[in-house]
Structure 1
Amino acid sequence: MPALLRSSDEFANWNRDLRAVCGNFSTAMSDQHSLFIGSVHGQDVCGLEIAHIRTNAGLISRHRTCGDGDDDRYCFLILQNAGHQRIRQQNQVIELGPEDVALVDSARAFEIEPQGLVQNISIHLSREEVSLQLSQKQLFGKLARNSVATHMIRALVRSLGDVELSRDYGGRSDGSALEQAMIGLAAAGLDERADGQPGFACVGQDDIYGLATRLVEASLQDTELSPEYLARRLNVSVRHLYRLFEQRHESISRYIQQRRLERVAKDLRAHDLRHESITQIAFKWGFVDAAHFSRAFKRRFQHAPRDFRQHFS
């Protein structure tokens, strides 16, 4: 079967599954990819509906609803696991990258525009309950990336999304309590974003350095990771960030590279990743130039990547 026809069939099946799990959406394939990639499945954890979505579709859109259907019951709390996407609602645009969390109102029209292959987990929260906790605030926005509330949401969403763990969870009363907790945390994360504070405005220099290193760990797969990226996320100047690392006789860029190289080395030792090529692993951890990666790896480990894999696996 020609690739174009096969992709068309797969897209139709994915679109059908998306509607079944998430409601009435219109979708379009991307003209940037010759092959469509997509999967979606729903999960019920103590009455909470969860959607796992992976796709390289070009556009996912939801038109204005009548306000009286099943599709209007929810707000979507979205955890971006991989890739980048843009969400538009109420004349606002937010950009989501790995580890970002956003709240989207299901009762208003919005568009999601994936930038290549994306993967996310969406928790369906009662729109009525979200409206009560957020009062007059709009039900759309990106949460402060480094607030305590957002970190807790990530942990909760990933725990709920783990199929093996969720099998042992309790009944629907637990689901209601979890929903209330996530709505409260989302409200706190949106408040911190609205106040222009990343959630640690009054911490000391050692704490900012610690937050920077943790942000590096969480963003190693993001090709945009850089000193400028860190400074923007941490709400400090690039020069100030350089100074914090220099005080510890470190370079930010070198620190990022070393952490990426260590992740690559760990994967090259892993027997269950033997099917992945060295280039795939390097690109997974944020390297974009295979020759540059090979030189940096050999300097760090005194072995070329291929020799390292053969020797240590």
Structure 2
Amino acid sequence: MSALLHSCDAFASWNRDLRAVCGNFSTTMSDRHSLFIGSVHGQDICGLELAHIRTNAGLISRHRTCADGDDDRYCFLILQSSGHQRIRQQHQVIELRPNDIALVDSAQAFEIEPQGLVQNISIHLTRKEVNLQFGQKQLFGKLDRNSVATYMIRALVRSLGDVELSKDYGGKNDGPALEQALIGLAAAGLSEHADGQPGFACVGHDDIYGLATRLVESSLQEVELGPEYLARHLNVSVRQLYRLFEQRHESISRYILQRRLERVAQDLRAPELRHESITQIAFKWGFVDAAHFSRAFKRHFQHAPRDFRQYLLPV
């Protein structure tokens, strides 16, 4: 009973923080988890507002607000950092996986349904400015996962999230300039997705290899990541992809495994992640078999994951 009460208290506190940072939302706990996990904090970069959200809530709902009200001034550009979630708005449903980006209209009711523990960054874009650039386009949808515009948004948002900036730093036009850039990129990403065009045009072998390695980096949390996944998203044949890696004396599967192991090791070194189990971290980076992961980790680092963590983490 005490654990349940503690979880309810944490949920109530998180719900209050969510409303303070993001506006008029109501949430429900998931009946699939006995313990609620949630954190939310806002970031102001020269007037551009970001919300960093982590939760295993069951449902996050935003009800329809009055037109031109103070609570519908923004559209939310959501970068899914980890986990999977479903967003519903105006009888449409989109699925977000790690590294996906979606645009959601705050003036329309919508629901977010996390599938387990999720983490994302929500950028608050002025709805009036979005309308100016989008014109008659719908303000809801998922950006083309492999478009150049989407890659640029990921890089920009993550760089903003990694630095300690506030509205007191930079020039007075920095925030509006960042907002205009993000809106323009979002419009381009949605257009490419709507047109059904592949994210990558026909390019040289070196360019394809570079795109493949960057796609691996952005897809490490995808369980299905492998040669077929890369070929499908790069619009090339599996044989061509194998040949590109073999020319560099590499194996696609070994390259993916190595990058996953290195990301796991990075998390095992992080003191702020000491509360997460080794299995949780491994599964987050695309491993599905704990025994296979443990053997692969020991072969690569010459230490079992638990010994690696205990040796490197300060007490």
**Cα shift at 1:118:** 0.8
Partner of 1:189, secondary structure, is helix
1:93 aligns with 2:84: no
In structure 2, C-alpha distance between the alignment counterparts of 1:74 and 1:311, rounded to whole Å: 47
Flag the 1:303–1:8 CA change in 2: closer, same or farther, 3 A. Answer: closer
Matched letter for residue 40 of structure 1: V
Matched letter for residue 155 of structure 1: A
TM-score (norm 1): 0.87
Partner of 1:127: 127
Asked if 1 retains the 8 angstrom alpha-carbon contact of 2:46 and 2:168, the reply is: no
In structure 1, C-alpha distance between the alignment counterparts of 2:22 and 2:78, rounded to whole Å: 12
Matched letter for residue 86 of structure 1: R
**Cα shift at 1:33:** 0.5
**Cα shift at 1:234:** 2.6
Matched letter for residue 18 of structure 2: L
Matched letter for residue 16 of structure 1: R
Superposition map of 1:1-313 within 5 A: 2-162=2-162, 164-166=164-166, 169-238=169-238, 240-242=240-242, 244-245=244-245, 248=248, 250-265=250-265, 270=269, 272=271, 275=274, 278-301=278-301, 304-305=304-305
Partner of 1:21, secondary structure, is helix
Of all paired residues, the percent bearing the same amino acid is: 84
| Unmatched tracts of structure 1, length 5 or more | none
* 1:239-259: CA deviation from partner (whole Å, max 9, x where unpaired): 554454455554432321122
**Cα shift at 1:2:** 1.9
In structure 2, C-alpha distance between the alignment counterparts of 1:118 and 1:243, rounded to whole Å: 36
In structure 2, C-alpha distance between the alignment counterparts of 1:309 and 1:37, rounded to whole Å: 23
Flag the 1:59–1:227 CA change in 2: closer, same or farther, 3 A. Answer: farther
Asked if 1 retains the 8 angstrom alpha-carbon contact of 2:79 and 2:122, the reply is: yes
Deviates more, 1:69-78 or 1:144-153: 144-153
In structure 1, C-alpha distance between the alignment counterparts of 2:205 and 2:32, rounded to whole Å: 44
Asked if 2 retains the 8 angstrom alpha-carbon contact of 1:160 and 1:166, the reply is: no
**Cα shift at 1:302:** 5.3
* 1:258-290: CA deviation from partner (whole Å, max 9, x where unpaired): 22234445566x485894665454334322222
Aligned residues: 312
**Cα shift at 1:158:** 2.2
Partner of 1:221, secondary structure, is coil
| Unmatched tracts of structure 2, length 5 or more | none
Flag the 1:161–1:309 CA change in 2: closer, same or farther, 3 A. Answer: closer
Flag the 1:126–1:265 CA change in 2: closer, same or farther, 3 A. Answer: closer
Asked if 1 retains the 8 angstrom alpha-carbon contact of 2:28 and 2:59, the reply is: yes
